[in-house]
Structure 1
Amino acid sequence: MCETLKNKYQVCEEIGRGRFGVISRCFSPTKNSFFACKTIDKSLLADQADRDCLEKEPKIMLFLPPHPNILQIHDAFDSDDSLTLILDLCEPYTLYDKVIKSNGGLPEPKSAGIMRQLLEAVAHCHRFGVVHRDIKPDNVLFDSRNRVKLGDFGSADWVVDSGSLSGVFGTPYYVAPEVLMGRDYGDKVDVWSAGVVLYVMLSGIPPFYGETVEEIFEAVIRGNLRFPPKVFRNVSSQAKDFLRKLISRDPSRRFSAEQALRKFLGFFRFFFF
């Protein structure tokens, strides 16, 4: 642990562990607050792609103006051996954990409340040209006030001058079809992924699935969106209409994040007013 980090923070117990390092709770005496301390062991980075992600993630997170629904970096310490990021402290469970515990999906009002905050985060990223590229329940965190925090910007990138990106990034169940088809794509890939997250919240199952990764990808590319009556019996027609606008195979027909946000309260206002 570098001296500068030790001088500024008291590192406490380990609260998580990932592929490249550990996350601990830490305390800042000057701010009188607790944070998460994410330490990445550079020796565990397997290839150049991992090293590129390590460099890009903090740059993108620091570039984005603070937003209440996006995980924020408060400090960073770089050395030859490791990179340590001081982040918002979140609860140990994710949206994935909430959905699994629900055993069949979350109630529509609860799903709507989470989705509104997720769309706020995605729209904020897109306003500044950032595409997340890996939106999934595992990356939707919650702070001590149960407020959504979108995290893990390791696959994120800036939209280039042409307004498009390339390369296959994301997670099988949540990745947009245009990514898998090898086309250049824009920020609407995040809207597709957010739509799949909403579908999973409401039903407890993904809209596209298969026995293997290849079969999942084939189902995603077909994009045949269905609402099994038994699973969606308690889901409103407004929610299903909204999902069709998010999980649209044709990006030109798919809502942008801003459009989704504007339409959201039109569909779900009875949950908030």
Structure 2
Amino acid sequence: CTRGSRQRKDGGLYHLGRTLGRGHFAVVKLARHVNTGQLVAVKMIDKTKLDVMVEKVIQRLVQHPNVVHLYEVVNTPTTLYLIMELAEGGDLYDYILRHEGGVAEDTAKRHFAQIVRAVAYCHQLHVVHRDLKPENVVFFPQQGVVKLTDFGFSNLFKPGTMLATSCGSLAYSAPEILLGEEYDAPAVGEKWISFSLFKNLGVLKTV
């Protein structure tokens, strides 16, 4: 996906637009399929700075109604392009800013339940996300759902085996990760983060 367009392996073509987000190793841009007009999000990952094979494999593995769908992957020597469905409603971080006084408990419960289902499904596949935060929960108003995105820090785990890699976002890290200890990712890290994601940010008025 160059400044203008990018040829797909199947003959399709995307035209890149404005930047939707930017991280240490990746840029996410709005793109439009030239033939169909479909809007998508294209995550452009710098392969020279990050090993992206795990994210590529996991993103293809995880297929769930509450996980952002990966349409295809375009691989070049220096950049990996992940072409994904576009979240028209923005992310949970902006949603929180728009609802500083909190939202109705039923609404918060519905959003929370959808993310829990996505995380539980990942764990069934022995996939741990390791970066649950408001910016990685996105809204699809037309579908009436929220979805989990950005598997850049995700990994496969073996049940009963502890992980030691310290990763993710500091503000949402479990105590074990902050202390540099080994941790059971699905039992400790994800549960701690998914709970603090909603409670500590004040999404639930009554908690």
Q: TM-score range by the shorter chain?
A: 0.7 to 0.9
Which one of 68, 72, 86 corresponds to residue 71 of structure 1? 68
For 1:14 and 1:195, the matched residues in 2 are separated by: 33
| TM-score relative to the length of structure 1 | 0.65
Q: Which residue of 2 aligns with 1:199?
A: 199
The 1:39/1:170 distance shift into structure 2, 3 A limit, reads closer
Largest Rg, 1 or 2: 1
Runs of 4 or more consecutive aligned structure 1 residues displaced over 6 Å after TM superposition: none
For 1:106 and 1:16, the matched residues in 2 are separated by: 25
The 1:118/1:22 distance shift into structure 2, 3 A limit, reads closer
The answer to which structure has the higher strand fraction is 2
The answer to which structure has the higher helix fraction is 1
Unaligned runs of 5+ in 1: 46-50, 205-231, 241-273
Which one of 160, 166, 169 corresponds to residue 168 of structure 1? 166
Paired AA for residue 137 in structure 1: P
SS at structure 2 position matched to 1:58:
helix
Paired AA for residue 197 in structure 1: L
Q: Which residue of 2 aligns with 1:114?
A: 111
Alignment of 1:101 onto 2:106: no
| TM-score relative to the length of structure 2 | 0.84
Which deviations, in whole Å up to 9, do the C-alpha atoms of 1:86-141 show, x marking residues without a partner? Answer: 10111262101111111232221211111011101111101110111110111001
Unaligned runs of 5+ in 2: none
The answer to whether the 8 A contact 1:76-1:83 is kept is yes
Q: Which residue of 1 aligns with 2:27?
A: 21
Q: Quote the offset at 1:55 in angstroms.
A: 2.1
Q: Quote the offset at 1:24 in angstroms.
A: 1.9
Q: Quote the offset at 1:18 in angstroms.
A: 0.8
For 1:107 and 1:161, the matched residues in 2 are separated by: 37
The answer to whether the 8 A contact 2:30-2:39 is kept is no
The 1:16/1:6 distance shift into structure 2, 3 A limit, reads farther
Paired AA for residue 190 in structure 1: E
Q: Which residue of 1 aligns with 2:185?
A: 186
Paired AA for residue 62 in structure 1: R
Q: Which residue of 2 aligns with 1:11?
A: 15
The answer to whether the 8 A contact 1:15-1:23 is kept is yes
What is the aligned length? Answer: 198
The Cα RMSD (Å) is 2.4
